[in-house]
Structure 1
Amino acid sequence: MKHSDTILSQVIGGSLDSIAREMSATVTRTARSPLFNEAHDFTTGIFDLSSKKARLIAQAPGCTLHLYAIVGAVDHLLDAFRYDLHPGDILLVNDPYYGGSHSLDWTIVMPVFHERKPILLPSVRSHMGDNGGPVAGGYNPKSRDIWQDGLRIPPIKIYERGEKRRDVFDMIVANNRLAHWLEGDLDAMIGACRLAAERMEGMLARYGADGVTSAIQQRIDYTERRVREEISSWPDGSYTASTYADHDFQGNRDIKVQATVTVSGSDLHIDFSGSSPQMAGFVNSPLSNTTSFAFVAISTCCDENIPINEGYMNPVIVTAPSGTVVNPQLPAPCGHSTACVGAEIAEAVLLALSQCAPKRVGANVHKLPLAYTHGKYEDGRPWVNLNFYGYTGGAGAAYETDGWGLYPPVMTGVILPSIEMNEVQYPCRVLKHEYMADFTGTGQYRGTPGLDVQIEYLEESHSSVMMAGVRNTAQGYCGAPAGPGNKIILNCDSTEAMEIPETAFGIPMQAGGIIQFYRAGGGGWGHPFDRDSEVVLTDVRNGYVTVEGARRDYGVIMDAAGTVVDGEATQKERQVRRTRPQ
């Protein structure tokens, strides 16, 4: 490769990354929904169409669990309109069985033409605040089929040759409780794609289609080479691990996700055979969602400086047997799959990889206890609040690092909304959002501490709760025990206080009602007795660990005030407990 070609590849690759980031900023600054402009629950990406299928070539930081699910949606849109694409067309899909994840995630794509051929495809995938159907907010724990999850949108055009299809828009908006947000959010997504198209047209005019295509291919080849180098450093063999989701919200418990990861040179095969059959409840993971969580797991084990594009996918094959919870058949419901069993998919892959690449894995799953609240403003318009503060936590440890931040890697592109703006946008007050001591996965490196969160609603409302990570908690890695369990209490300050063991549906909350989340911390890495005792002492001083917890969980003995470690007593305590039968 000539030096000038390498430079051009970097210039064009950097330009595409910048365009994706500018798309992201455009959505954030122009959307109406707090899910977009506050929580950033969306992802922008760019694809090319130099072959029969679209290829991911650039992506801005966003909701990480969208990482590769967007690929399946774009492919299905192209399959539907490959021979009917025109300048000015804008395509939309949300159906889980057409490359989606759950139907709350909508994907928009706009083809960019050069010399009458579609060349590039800017795209936005976003979590919408509502999706019609029987339940406000779109999460329906009583769902028994895909139609009860909400409105299914197969591949359609919402703009055709530059003209808005008003009939289609009106149909979509009419089937959404948050119409006062929805059309503005769609306009923000469309505006981001149009802005990207302008930037791309300038790039194509400057460098030509051949130059851009060649640079993209070099960038994909570079990513693939780097990923293959990572995989080649892991010992060949097959490694199997299983994990479990608590339940499917329909009475079925301990739902198994099994992954066998086979390393063969620089190739990787992830096989989910052995996973539970598809469930009655809405935890089933469509193939695109399963593939996305598998790739999220792989990407967290590789150098973070590797560009995210199609090259990541080329060395990896994913097998998910049809009719299972990781590849359901229509009409199985899928509404909760981006949390459950998505978390278990990533967890099973990482547990398998911990057997061959222990220093590369980390506890990056979310075991998300979902509790959302809905009501009406004074003018009668509905609102839906996903209570993001209750979902923070769960970030796990990795080799040589404790858990950090509030979200695990599968959610790191999501931003914790401003409490002040949240209290302006919804009739609520965030009373508490603070770390709890002794409430995380322990290990040589510990997870992020768990949180105690209290949210008060100032007006009458209804809340639905979908628990996860109560019995089958976040797993530790490489000798670390499993983390603690989640807990949610509705109306926690009243005689009607209700701890939710699994599911609650549409529970009335009077004005002043409080939801309390005990959000468990993330899993640890390595045996807790290998943690430096002085680091444990620092955790005690910071309030992450109590003196009692230091002894119980880490075998570290210190004075009652938590100021000095007794090194000799600690060594003896650890030695005795290591040899004690479990």
Structure 2
Amino acid sequence: MDQDMILSQVVGGSLDAIAREMSATVTRTARSPLFNEAHDFTTGVFDLSGRKSRLVAQAPGCTLHLYAIVGAVDHLIDAFRYDLHPGDILLVNDPYHGGSHSLDWTIVMPVFYNRKPILLPAVRSHMGDNGGPVAGGYNPKSQDIWHDGLRIPPLKIYERGEKRQDVFDLIVANNRLSHWLEGDLDAMIGACKLAAGRIQQMLDQYGAEKMIGTIDNRISYTERRVRDEIASWPDGTYSAETYADHDFQGNHDIKVKATVTVTGSDLHIDFTGSSPQVDGFINSPLSNTTSFAFVGISTCCDEDIPINEGYMNPVTVTAPEGTVVNPVLPAPCGHATACVGAEIAEAVLLAIAECAPKRVGVNAHKLPLAYTNGVDEGGNQWVNLNFFGYTGGAGAAYQTDGWGLYPPVMTGVTLPSIEMNEIQYPSRVLRHEYVADFTGSGKWRGTPGLDVQIQHLDNSSTSVMMAGVRNTTKGFVGGHDAPSNKVIVNYGSENEQDVEETAFAIKMPPGGIIQFYRAGGGGWGDPFERDPELVLEDVKNGYVSIEAAEKEYGVIIDREDLSVNIDKTNRHRNSSKKKRMSD
């Protein structure tokens, strides 16, 4: 038994290391800043010992890809189960074939042993463009899935080790960023080939039967840990609902409802009661919905639990067809990884808050998406997702203030270097700083909000998709909700425009500025229970004003020496508490 456990750790650790090496390979060899700077991709390894693939290892990456990649791998295997050969490499991006939105592409390479496909290294990446009507792929005027961009069903781009150049050329020709895309695809393929070589060495050393046995043990370990967590929650049924502001085509307050049922160590999530699918491009395909649901679950569990199929085994999901959480063809899905993905995770966590309040929090993904495109001096098109404008927004959790520059659903994404960003794009980051009183207050507060200015030096075009304006990021367990996001295009000019819901292809002259006010995250717990010394520290750091310290937290701070007046604070908090109880 001890030897089996040791071998399971060795094999599992090796597969984790392979996934991380794949991630490093993509980062260091890709051309697009989305890869080599922002790290907007995920690498993993799957096994194929049964009818369905199983996630066995995954490198830290873009967290919202966490389980969406599972559906894509399954659809690829289903399409080619009886036509897989050594050297085959598969590709898919179609939201209706296990994808999320068509900007996320998945590449898989089966590794064979004794003529059977055993393990599957995979890369899922957000591409800078995917064809379609608009540069960058986010099309707020999208009316069907074809308006979102090029649909790639399951296909082979390598067959028996030979590159299918005609297929490759077709894909590259249907992309505005072909000068990046070819290199990015090569980086993804190269990572899979490197992993395949490493995995083949392990199969030669241990044999398939022993490898699968150790993988079974590792998955069982993860499942036991997750089941132990769920079993600590009281049995019952818990419901919550939240709303997206709009679908960018006139429909407002799109509901996502989650009903969580805890039965022993089993957890069922039912999205019945969510809004019907909508006209706009926020509909969430099933794989995207399950991914955001599992992201919510994973944030409630200990971070040292290995990420693999064991996370999924205790959890089942119901998402009625024809709803915003499981649309039917040809509903558009281009923005689903932000909206309504954010609401899916939020609704799940709000429901879990009723039975496990100390385990929830931190989710905050209501991005004010504003992407800019243009043409450089060499005639090449460029698309800048303006990542600096999306930073911030992480909420609080039990005993933890919000931290970092990205919310948990994007924690694998790294903030690009400002200097490299200004080399790779004709842009300047003029401002990127915290703002006082711009987050959800609580016993533990959200990450402070940000004031960001991005200037583009050449003629450019910007489209904005607002979120979190009316239905802002929720606080938990009495914590206050986050404030509203705000974006202004052509800031400071006579053509300045404050975007209420969406702005499409706004022309910006050289020197045009986008102004982001990115709200912080939601709070956790009653703000009047926050340690006054922590409030004072926030005041000294510029996160909270003296006025907000009194209004939001009930803490009276003397201006002259910046100290807490304990007597006044206690009297103010007690009187406010009595008033709230009487109300």
TM-score by shorter chain over 0.5: yes
Shift of 1:365: 2.3
Indicate the SS of the match to 2:345: helix
1:505, 1:252 → 2: CA distance?
17
Shift of 1:363: 2.7
- Counterpart of 2:35, as a letter, is F
Shift of 1:560: 2.3
User: CA 1:562–1:22 in structure 2 vs 1: closer, same or farther (change >3 Å)?
Assistant: farther
Shift of 1:562: 6.4
The reply on whether 1:83 has 2:82 as its aligned counterpart is yes
Identity of aligned residues (%): 76
Q: Which residue of 1 aligns with 2:391?
A: 392
The reply on whether 1:289 has 2:288 as its aligned counterpart is yes
Q: How does 1:445-460 map to 2 (within 5 A)?
A: 445-460=444-459
Q: Which residue of 2 aligns with 1:443?
A: 442
Shift of 1:561: 4.3
1:153, 1:580 → 2: CA distance?
60
Q: Which residue of 2 aligns with 1:474?
A: 473
1:538, 1:325 → 2: CA distance?
43
Q: Is the CA contact (8 Å cut-off) linking 1:278 and 1:324 kept in structure 2? A: yes
2:285, 2:466 → 1: CA distance?
21
For each residue in 1:459-518, what CA deviation from the matched residue of structure 2 results, as whole angstroms up to 9, or x when unmatched? 110000000000100000001121101000011111211110000000000011100100
Q: What 5-or-longer segments of structure 1 have no aligned partner?
A: none
Q: Is the CA contact (8 Å cut-off) linking 1:31 and 1:184 kept in structure 2? A: yes
- Counterpart of 1:200, as a letter, is I
Q: Which residue of 2 aligns with 1:300?
A: 299
Q: Which residue of 1 aligns with 2:351?
A: 352
Q: Is the CA contact (8 Å cut-off) linking 1:344 and 1:365 kept in structure 2? A: no
2:563, 2:309 → 1: CA distance?
52
- Counterpart of 2:289, as a letter, is T
The reply on whether 1:365 has 2:370 as its aligned counterpart is no
CA RMSD, aligned part only? Answer: 0.7
Q: Which residue of 1 aligns with 2:259?
A: 260
Q: Is the CA contact (8 Å cut-off) linking 1:234 and 1:357 kept in structure 2? A: yes
Q: Which residue of 2 aligns with 1:529?
A: 528
Q: Is the CA contact (8 Å cut-off) linking 1:282 and 1:333 kept in structure 2? A: yes
Question: What TM-score, normalized by structure 1, do the two folds share?
Answer: 0.99
- Counterpart of 1:398, as a letter, is A
The reply on whether 1:57 has 2:64 as its aligned counterpart is no
Indicate the SS of the match to 1:495: coil
Q: How does 1:180-579 map to 2 (within 5 A)?
A: 180-561=179-560, 563-579=562-578
Indicate the SS of the match to 1:529: helix
- Counterpart of 2:411, as a letter, is T
Q: Which residue of 2 aligns with 1:130?
A: 129
The reply on whether 1:105 has 2:104 as its aligned counterpart is yes
1:90, 1:457 → 2: CA distance?
39
For each residue in 1:327-363, what CA deviation from the matched residue of structure 2 results, as whole angstroms up to 9, or x when unmatched? 0000000000000000000000000000100110013
The reply on whether 1:67 has 2:45 as its aligned counterpart is no
2:456, 2:366 → 1: CA distance?
25
User: CA 1:154–1:561 in structure 2 vs 1: closer, same or farther (change >3 Å)?
Assistant: farther
1:573, 1:256 → 2: CA distance?
38
1:577, 1:469 → 2: CA distance?
29
1:315, 1:577 → 2: CA distance?
44
2:152, 2:209 → 1: CA distance?
35
User: CA 1:561–1:540 in structure 2 vs 1: closer, same or farther (change >3 Å)?
Assistant: farther
- Counterpart of 1:170, as a letter, is D
- Counterpart of 1:5, as a letter, is D
Q: Is the CA contact (8 Å cut-off) linking 1:540 and 1:562 kept in structure 2? A: no
User: CA 1:210–1:368 in structure 2 vs 1: closer, same or farther (change >3 Å)?
Assistant: same
Q: Is the CA contact (8 Å cut-off) linking 1:104 and 1:130 kept in structure 2? A: yes
Q: What 5-or-longer segments of structure 2 have no aligned partner?
A: none
1:402, 1:351 → 2: CA distance?
18
Q: Which residue of 1 aligns with 2:152?
A: 153
Indicate the SS of the match to 1:159: strand
Q: Which residue of 1 aligns with 2:115?
A: 116
How many aligned positions are there? 581
Shift of 1:177: 0.1
Shift of 1:364: 1.3
Indicate the SS of the match to 2:169: helix
1:32, 1:240 → 2: CA distance?
45
Shift of 1:115: 1.0
Indicate the SS of the match to 2:324: coil
2:424, 2:557 → 1: CA distance?
47
2:563, 2:530 → 1: CA distance?
16
For each residue in 1:3-26, what CA deviation from the matched residue of structure 2 results, as whole angstroms up to 9, or x when unmatched? 111100000000000000000000
1:344, 1:578 → 2: CA distance?
31
Q: Which residue of 2 aligns with 1:40?
A: 39
1:424, 1:472 → 2: CA distance?
37
Indicate the SS of the match to 2:550: helix
For each residue in 1:544-566, what CA deviation from the matched residue of structure 2 results, as whole angstroms up to 9, or x when unmatched? 00101101111111112461111
Question: What TM-score, normalized by structure 2, do the two folds share?
Answer: 0.99
- Counterpart of 2:338, as a letter, is A
Shift of 1:572: 1.4
Q: Is the CA contact (8 Å cut-off) linking 1:372 and 1:386 kept in structure 2? A: yes
Q: How does 1:157-176 map to 2 (within 5 A)?
A: 157-176=156-175
Shift of 1:429: 0.4
1:580, 1:102 → 2: CA distance?
49
1:365, 1:210 → 2: CA distance?
43
Q: Is the CA contact (8 Å cut-off) linking 1:363 and 1:477 kept in structure 2? A: no
1:354, 1:575 → 2: CA distance?
27
1:452, 1:357 → 2: CA distance?
34
Q: Is the CA contact (8 Å cut-off) linking 1:368 and 1:468 kept in structure 2? A: yes
Q: Which residue of 1 aligns with 2:29?
A: 30
Q: Is the CA contact (8 Å cut-off) linking 1:547 and 1:562 kept in structure 2? A: no
1:341, 1:368 → 2: CA distance?
11
